[in-house]
Amino acid sequence: MVKYFITGIGGGVALAILDGLVNANPLAVRLLAVYKPIARQSVNFIAGTAVDLAYGLILAALFIFLKPAYPSPSGLVNGLLFGAGAWFLRTAMSAVSQWIMFRISFAAVAYLAVAGLAAMLAFGTLFGLILG
């Protein structure tokens, strides 16, 4: 149980850092400028961090729940599978929805998908190595 909480909180912190890296770098700012007219002028750091910590705990619990269904005895492989699944449900579907709903370039959609894949695979690797 202690390992779950530490990993979940660590995963939440990793999500917060990855969200910042994915969304605040110069390439992202340029590609996602289409959102500038509707974007907040500043981010509520406390609320964003709280949400990411909650996501980390929820995803850690989900990984533990799904662990018996994964085909590999390797925690690393299972973590990568979990990360790929989380990417599809969290990032890929969101990126495609953004492309459908907004006038957003394919480059921005591709960036969101690829950057999200890298982040979710890193996230899954963390869970797989610690909880796997």
Instruction: Indicate the SS3 state at residue 38.
Output: coil
And the tokens for 106? 């394919």
**Which tens digits make up the pLDDT trace of 26-81?**
998 898 888 888 888 888 889 988 999 999 999 999 999 999 999 888 989 999 99
Instruction: Please report the pLDDT score of residue 130 as a whole number.
Output: 92
Instruction: Say how far apart CA 35 and CA 103 lie, in whole Å.
Output: 10
Tell me the whole-structure pTM to 2 decimals.
Answer: 0.84
CB neighbourhood size of 75 (10 A) = 18
Average of pLDDT values for 119-132? 90
